Structure 1
Amino acid sequence: MTREKKTEVRMTLYRLTGLDSVPEAVREKYLELETFQKKWVLVDNRKAFLVYGKTPDKEVSWGSVIAGLTGQSIPLKNSVAAAVLVIPAAEGISPSNRVLRGGQQTTENNDEGIVAWALSYGMGFQLLNQNAIDNGFGQRAAIRSANPLGLHSISKTTLDERPRIERSTIASGAHLRNFGFEDLGDLATRLVTEGRVDGVGTGDKLIKLRGADALSLPLSKDPKELVDDLLHIEKTLSQKPASDELAALEQLALIKDKGKITELDARLIEAIGEEDSPLLTLSFPHELIDEYGKAEAYKLLGTRERARRDYLPTLEDLLEPIKSVPEEQRLDKMGRLSVLLFENLDDEAPSSPKIPLKKWLAFQTEVGDNRYFLHHGRWYLMDRNYADVVKRRVREIFDRGPLLQDLPVWELTDQGNKEDKKRKNSELSYNKKLATHLGGLCLDQVLVHSETHRRGIEACDVLLEDGTFIHVKNVGSSSPASHLLAQALVSTEVLTYDKTAQGHLAERIRSKGINPDVFMLKPKQVVIVMAKEGKKLNADSLFTFTQVNLSRQVAQLNTQGVHVYIAPILRTTL
């Protein structure tokens, strides 16, 4: 029988895991506050834990500003109301859920602890234990319940040399491809879509689902039907994504093995101690800010500093207190640090719960043949099929051949002198040699200006008359390789469409005493020369991180009608 619509209301649902007891779902602070009530209640004969109340009244932060401007005191105070209803996913969970067996404390659920649902009302999300939240639960549920043609909004993190976060919105709904989502290198963090969870809602009518860590959807106001709704949502998580395209949003698998997590955390601490790790960056939690509201100030908890800071933290802000302690203490120090957000610098009431510092970091590392990625405080393994797709595409690029044959070896003559200037001169020397060998023009360190690049970019290192743009780099790690790829991509995009850049390139050629008319100023093909000490690179010897970037950027250049070739060469020291 179809449920009447009036019996439903939109709710925000979290999934919590690894709990030793049901009350552990709520932060201890709110269990101790006198202004909050804690009660065991029944929801369709299922014992649930309800916490509700409000924060102590505080003077409004802007009252002092008005008083200073007008001399008129504003005797106003406000507080924040919040409630959380925690419902165990399994029946028969006792309040403490702890029993003694052979002198040992154990849980009565499973090896991963209690699984529970949390319904959040008002600012209820502030009450939840952030370490217990099943990150990405809402998105996983939305992916399995979506109408593949009814996506409204996608937030994603792009795994680039400096990972960036973007949001795309199409109000009328569209297919995943319309959002510019790449099947390689893009990690979805939030999804808004039309869809339907089987067994939940009014008939077959599509509803709007919002999925990130939480899932927002209409749920029943009837206790029995609500519990049934939760059971149907749990079943949804075991289903396949609604389409093969949506399955691409789940290319990373959550790591649960504690030994592996310890090993990966050690890699993270090692990267934090380095002067500059290109695979460690700030991952701004936009999807959290969306749930918590406006934030323009923060406080870093776990340090002696008491004052709030204006705007939002940088990577350096977050790593500084970790680096201030000995290396063997850094992991413990990181675990004790968290960020508290505020609407503004003067606001007394926080606009977020404590967000563990680890959730603000993004990091990538390789262990053996596997690639791991830290996102939102948790470790993920890159899906084997995904990794195989990356490798296959990179091999296809290498299999095209270098286009240019018999390229000279890069001979480094300034052995022992590793200053930046010397390295740069070595690269310039090789590019001059390469230009002479190919009958082209060396443009290394020659900048071309455009409408969007006022400071200038390198068109290429060597230019051939037939429109072949050659980019050269000594590749010792992912960072220079990714820089080389980005350089080639930017140069090709600009010179394909920007008349100003093409005109300036012609001027640069003319300044060398050469008629620019003999050169094609728009790239026809791009050759990326990768030099490495000891032996030539191949598709399998590139970092997975670099493989992703290479695949993405070559695909983008192909859409512009530009063919890309990889030319591995040897670099030797005399």
Structure 2
Amino acid sequence: MGKQRLTIYMFRENVQDIEDIFDLERKSQIGIEVFKIPTNNAFGSDGCLFYKKQEDNTPAWLSYVIPILAEDLPEMKTKSISALLVTRVKERIFAIAFGYGRSLIDLQKIEFNFGLRVALNLIDPKQIRSVDTKLFDDLVLSAKMQVSRDAGLASFNVDTQRDILKSVAGKIDGNDFFNTISGSDSVVLNADIGALKVPRLLEQLLEAYQSEAYKKNFGWVDHLALVRDEKTINLLDNKLVGELRSGVLGSTHLALPDVLDLEDIDAYKIQGTRGVEYPELDLDSYLKELGDALDQLSLEKLKRFHVSVRFSRTQAYDRRGTLYRCLVSEQRLEQGGRLYVLIEGRWFEVDKLLVEEVDSYLEERITFDAKGFPDAKVGEKETNYNQRLVRESGGGLLLLDAKVFRPQGARTGIEFCDVLSKEGEIIHVKRKSRSSTLSHLFAQGTVSAKTFLGDQSFRSELRDYIRDQVKVGHSDDWSQVLPDMNESVVPNRYCIRYLIIAKSSRTGMDWLPFFSKITLIQNTKELLQMGYKVTVGRVSVSD
């Protein structure tokens, strides 16, 4: 027989009954909509196959083409079957999904990163074929990278401080059952074995999962450690619910747990708001839509309410996970001051040494200060704040917001900054929101500073523009800010200042999300190497 593609899940140790792999809704359907057939003695008496037949469906594209056809089409229906082969090996329950079998599983009960750890322990580190990463900043950036031939991790440009490894695929040597593997929460492989040998295969995978060989080449994946202590999880969940009820979000937003083609999604629904359709997955909009019901938001509802997407190709809504699983959040507990992140329905503790390293660097190298800058007003747009900032400065600031200058040889222009001060502060302003990312803000400051330092024609265009904007009789005041035509930039005369408009009850640097801090550090290192000073400040929002 040929090779069989197997998608394998392992369940947590506290899942002891085979039927407990389902949620309560699915469990109640066993014998009605979900059917069960036991395996024979040759395979193992503790195994069984669960399956569910789907109703016949008419393809969505059919109604689109019918109006242009000269003849009637025969009846066209599609049908799918979901199936799970479930068994127990050495006190752990495994499920192999066929068809849409994954949809039957309660994903909260699977062993997180089972497949990833198995793959990292088995793959030859020089024979990796693909990696999937996620970067959790103030938005989630998913990346899938493949190479045309086997390569080491360095070929994928993975940032081991910021990127979270979600899956890896590659070759393994010396295995009789399979020679390639892909691992994430599940193991995916093409097995050259019959079904009777599946228990032996599962024993191999369990042994690989329990190994710590991965630490030699991939130890950095442990920067995030899964929190298993129920007391800690309860404390974190309570903090999260309290933050959501307050409506003042610190470092919490929504993101789909799966990588989907966003061009194929035209709407979202989130339970709890009576069928409201959202053009984007936005937590602020959802909380506002809840209205008075926000006070009754609970952990139970977060784990019960589902997020669904409507695919443009079918116009049908598909559940993609619970609201809780779609939340991305950072929380600190007062006791111990440890940093935790909620990702895809699981709390992780960020490595303490990494947190200390990041915070120490920021404290030593960057000034956190927004003194002298007025609060933003509720509902005030970023552009209006910049205009008011300049207007109230008494001539000490110059507005450059949205003014684009073209570097030499470039096809597109860049903004130098939003506001420039006579003291040489190059000020970039951003209102922290769903649509404006801090990573973009920090990168913008670095690109601007590089261009200002190295491109004489860019500086000349900037100088001419400023001279035209300054009132008659005041040009001498501003001529000292920029170097003359034949002079070089002296970077230590300038400060790159980031002003971030954001509501927050957090003190010190903690209003800035942890992964945004790492992005800031990467950009700051470049700026400091060029000779600039760097300052970051939070502008409060007041009535």
Q: Tell me whether the two structures share a fold, i.e. TM-score over 0.5.
A: yes
TM-score (norm 2): 0.75
Q: Of the candidates 268, 271, 275, which is equivalent to residue 243 of structure 2?
A: 271
1:50, distance to aligned residue in structure 2 (A): 0.9
Partner of 1:84: 84
Q: Is the 8 A contact 2:254 2:282 kept in 1?
A: yes
What stretches of structure 1 of length at least 5 have no aligned partner? 1-5, 92-114, 403-407, 434-441, 533-539
What stretches of structure 2 of length at least 5 have no aligned partner? 501-506
Q: Of the candidates 2, 5, 12, which is equivalent to residue 10 of structure 1?
A: 5
Partner of 1:189: 166
Is 1:362 the counterpart of 2:362? The answer is: no
Is 1:176 the counterpart of 2:175? The answer is: no
Is 1:286 the counterpart of 2:251? The answer is: no
Alignment of 1:85-234 (within 5 A): 85-91=85-91, 115-195=92-172, 201=177, 207-219=179-191, 221-223=193-195, 225-234=197-206
Describe the shift of the 1:367–1:525 C-alpha distance in structure 2 as closer, same or farther (beyond 3 A): farther
1:184, distance to aligned residue in structure 2 (A): 2.3
2-structure distance, mates of 1:142, 1:496: 46
RMSD: 4.7
1:306, distance to aligned residue in structure 2 (A): 6.0
2-structure distance, mates of 1:24, 1:430: 65
1-structure distance, mates of 2:147, 2:493: 34
2-structure distance, mates of 1:278, 1:13: 37
Report the number of matched residues.
504
Residue 50 of structure 2 aligns to a residue in which SS?
A: strand
1-structure distance, mates of 2:290, 2:89: 37
Describe the shift of the 1:238–1:462 C-alpha distance in structure 2 as closer, same or farther (beyond 3 A): farther
Residue 135 of structure 1 aligns to a residue in which SS?
A: coil
Listed one character per residue, the Cα deviations across residues 428-484 of structure 1 (whole Å, up to 9, x for unaligned) are 877976xxxxxxxx55655541468768451764477xxx865488999xx999897
Is 1:41 the counterpart of 2:18? The answer is: no
Identity %: 16
Is 1:555 the counterpart of 2:522? The answer is: yes
Q: Is the 8 A contact 1:163 1:281 kept in 2?
A: no
What amino acid is the match of 2:201?
D
1:375, distance to aligned residue in structure 2 (A): 0.7
Describe the shift of the 1:161–1:375 C-alpha distance in structure 2 as closer, same or farther (beyond 3 A): same
Partner of 1:65: 64
1:300, distance to aligned residue in structure 2 (A): 3.5
Is 1:257 the counterpart of 2:229? The answer is: yes
Listed one character per residue, the Cα deviations across residues 337-388 of structure 1 (whole Å, up to 9, x for unaligned) are 113445446456x6x6652122222111222311111111111111223223
Describe the shift of the 1:552–1:200 C-alpha distance in structure 2 as closer, same or farther (beyond 3 A): farther
Q: Is the 8 A contact 2:303 2:325 kept in 1?
A: no
2-structure distance, mates of 1:520, 1:192: 50
Is 1:22 the counterpart of 2:18? The answer is: yes
Q: Is the 8 A contact 1:495 1:523 kept in 2?
A: no
Listed one character per residue, the Cα deviations across residues 69-98 of structure 1 (whole Å, up to 9, x for unaligned) are 43735522221122111122435xxxxxxx
Residue 82 of structure 1 aligns to a residue in which SS?
A: strand
Q: Is the 8 A contact 2:162 2:518 kept in 1?
A: no
Residue 300 of structure 2 aligns to a residue in which SS?
A: helix
Alignment of 1:233-248 (within 5 A): 233-240=205-212, 242=214, 246-248=218-220
Partner of 1:106: none
1:157, distance to aligned residue in structure 2 (A): 2.6
Of 483-492 and 243-252, deviating more is 483-492
Residue 237 of structure 1 aligns to a residue in which SS?
A: helix
What amino acid is the match of 2:80?
V
Partner of 1:333: 301
Partner of 1:438: none
Listed one character per residue, the Cα deviations across residues 14-50 of structure 1 (whole Å, up to 9, x for unaligned) are 1222435211223544844756431222464351121
What amino acid is the match of 2:72?
Q
Listed one character per residue, the Cα deviations across residues 98-122 of structure 1 (whole Å, up to 9, x for unaligned) are xxxxxxxxxxxxxxxxx42111111
2-structure distance, mates of 1:337, 1:516: 62
Describe the shift of the 1:48–1:320 C-alpha distance in structure 2 as closer, same or farther (beyond 3 A): farther
1-structure distance, mates of 2:419, 2:125: 42
Describe the shift of the 1:426–1:235 C-alpha distance in structure 2 as closer, same or farther (beyond 3 A): same
1-structure distance, mates of 2:309, 2:535: 49
2-structure distance, mates of 1:365, 1:246: 26
Q: Is the 8 A contact 1:8 1:220 kept in 2?
A: yes
Is 1:296 the counterpart of 2:265? The answer is: yes
Q: Is the 8 A contact 2:87 2:93 kept in 1?
A: yes
Describe the shift of the 1:419–1:344 C-alpha distance in structure 2 as closer, same or farther (beyond 3 A): closer
Q: Is the 8 A contact 1:176 1:246 kept in 2?
A: no
Residue 142 of structure 1 aligns to a residue in which SS?
A: helix
Residue 189 of structure 1 aligns to a residue in which SS?
A: strand
Residue 506 of structure 1 aligns to a residue in which SS?
A: helix
Partner of 1:537: none
What amino acid is the match of 2:417?
E
2-structure distance, mates of 1:529, 1:306: 44
Describe the shift of the 1:386–1:218 C-alpha distance in structure 2 as closer, same or farther (beyond 3 A): farther
Residue 5 of structure 2 aligns to a residue in which SS?
A: strand
Of 415-424 and 359-368, deviating more is 415-424
